[in-house]
Structure 1
C-alpha cells in the first residue's frame, strides 16, 4: 500500500509539472471542449430566438458558447460561459431597454448602421488587480462583450428577487455606456465637454467613492477615468436611472468644498452643463430627442425590474 501511495504521488507531481509548462497555444490544434460548446452544435430554441429577434431585424449575432478563435480583446482573466437558461431573458431585456428605444426614437436605419454586430456573452465578471470589476468592453464599434451574465436576472426568471435588480441594472448601464463610446467614436462630443473639469480626470479613480466624485462634478467615480468615460457615464445613468434620480444626486451634494477644491455650486453647475451638452449632442449629431429616448428606456427598465 505504501508503494502504491508513493507511486500515485509521484505521478501527480509529474502531471503537475507538465501542466505548468508554458507552451504557445495554437487554437487550430485545440480539441473541442465538452460542455462549453465546441465549434459546432445543433441549433436550438436559443439560436432561433437570436436569429429571429436580433440577427434578422438588426444584423446582430449573439455568441454564448465557447469559441477558441474568438478575440476577447483585453479579457485575459479566468472566466466561465453563461448559463444557457439566462441567454434569452437577458438578450430580450437588452433588446427592450437598448435596441427598441433607439430604433423607435431614431430609426432602424440609424441603429443598424452604427450598432455593434456581435454581442459576446460571458458568465462571470472579470476582476482586475485593482479590485475593479469589468462588466463590459466595446471593441472598435463592432462587438460588445458583456460579462457577469450568470449573476443577472430579470423579473419573471426563476428565483428573481429585488436584490437581483442590482446586476441587471449594471448590465443596462454597461451596454448604454459601451454604445455611448460607439456614438462618440463616430461623431465626437462638443469641445465644451472636454473643458469642464479636465484637471480632475485621474487614472486612480478607484481611490475615490462615488460620493467624493459627485462633489467634484462627476456622476460616478469611474467618470473620472477619462473624459470619454465621463461623457458615456453621464449618458448611461441619465438613460437608465432618469432625471428624478439625477436631481436626487444633485441634492445630495453637501455644502462646502471638496478635498480637490470644488464648491457645491461648481459641482452642480458642471453636472447640469454636462446633461445639457449631452441633450444637444444627441439632437445635433444624431437628430435624436434625448428626452424621448430616456422615457422609453426608463419605462422598459421599470417593467423588467419592478
Structure 2
C-alpha cells in the first residue's frame, strides 16, 4: 500500500510540473462545435449603436440551432451586416422614438431582443420563401437575404423593412401590448389556410410574398404571347401597364395585378396574412408602414370587386372588403388604446423616413 501511495504522489507531481510548463488554452472545449470569435470593429459598432442604446443583441455569426428546421439558409457576408443594421436602426428603432410617437423612452422595458441575420433566403423544403421564422420563440427576430441587401436599392430596402415591421408587429401583439386575439380571429377565421393550390402555407415560390403590394406581369397565354419584358416588380399598376405599352406588348398577353388577386379576393392584404391570425395581424401593421395609402386602396378595391356576376361571388366580394375594413379599424384602435399613438401617424413618419433613406 505504501509503494502504491508513493507512485501516486510521484505521478501527481509530474502532472503539476507538466501543467506549469505548458500554458493552458483559454478557449473552452466544452462546446466542441463552438469556436472563440475575436471581438471586431463591427462588434464594437453593434454594441455602441444597437445593443447598449436599445437592448438588442445581434447574432450574425452562424448558429445552426437557430435556423428554422427544414429551411435552407446560411450565414451572412460580414461586409453586409452593418448596412442592414444601419437601415433598421434608422427606419425602425429611431422611428418609434419620434417625439410624436413613442418618444425617447419607447424602448425602455421592451428589451431584451435578439436578431439573427442570415445570408440567404428563408426557403423551406417545398420551395416556399417565408418572411419570418415561424418557429421563433420569445423575443427573437430572424432576418434573411442579408447578402442580397443594397441600401441604394429601394426594393431591397422595402423587403427588409417588410420583414422587420412584420416581426415587430407580432411581438407587439403577442407580448408587449397583447391584443384581443379572439376578436381579431373571428373576423376572417374561416378564410385562414395553411395549404391551398397544393402549396404549403399558400405562398408563391418566387418571392412574390415578400413584395406584398408590388405588381408584376403574368403572361395570359404562353402559346400566343411570345414577347415579354425582363422579370421585374412595379410599384404601381400604372407603371406596370405603361412599361408593357411602351414595349408594344398587348394587354391580351399580360395582366399586371397578379400579386393582388388571391389574397385580396379572400379579404387579406398579402399571401403571408392568409397563414394565420397572428400573421394577418402583423401584416395589417407592416403593410401600412411600407406602402402608400393609395396602394392599399387598390388592394381594397380589388377585394370588393366580384370575380364574377353570380350572387355568391358578389357576396364574397362584399364580405372580403368588409373584413379588411374591420381589421383596419381593429389595428387602428389597438394602436390608439394599447400602444399609445396613431397608426396613421406611424405610417406617415415611416414612409417619410423610407423616402429620405432611399434618397441618400
Select which of 173, 177, 186 maps to 2:166: 177
Cα distance in 1, alignment partners of residues 269 and 262 from structure 2: 10
1:212-251 map, 5 Å: 212-251=262-301
- The answer to whether the 8 Å contact 2:72/2:124 transfers is no
| Structure with the largest fraction of helix | 1
Whether 1:200 and 2:212 are equivalent positions in the alignment is no
Gaps of 5+ in 1: 1-25, 33-37, 156-163
Select which of 87, 108, 113 maps to 1:112: 108
Q: TM-score, normalised by structure 1?
A: 0.77
Select which of 29, 32, 56 maps to 1:29: 32
Whether 1:147 and 2:141 are equivalent positions in the alignment is no
1:40-59 map, 5 Å: 40-44=37-41, 46-59=42-55
Cα distance in 2, alignment partners of residues 228 and 127 from structure 1: 20
Cα distance in 2, alignment partners of residues 190 and 76 from structure 1: 28
1:258-277 map, 5 Å: 261=313, 263-277=316-330
Cα distance in 2, alignment partners of residues 107 and 303 from structure 1: 20
The 3-state SS of whatever aligns with 1:118 is strand
Whether 1:95 and 2:89 are equivalent positions in the alignment is yes
Cα distance in 1, alignment partners of residues 129 and 302 from structure 2: 26
Residue 77 of structure 1: how far off its partner (Å): 3.5
Q: TM-score, normalised by structure 2?
A: 0.66
Aligned residues: 264
Gaps of 5+ in 2: 1-28, 196-200, 205-258
**What is the alpha-carbon root mean square deviation over aligned residues?**
2.6
The 3-state SS of whatever aligns with 1:110 is coil
Deviation digits for residues 45-86 of structure 1 (CA, Å, limit 9, x no counterpart)? x22221221112111121212346xx4152454422212221
Cα distance in 2, alignment partners of residues 27 and 135 from structure 1: 35
The change in CA–CA distance for 1:66 and 1:275 in structure 2 (over 3 A counts) is same
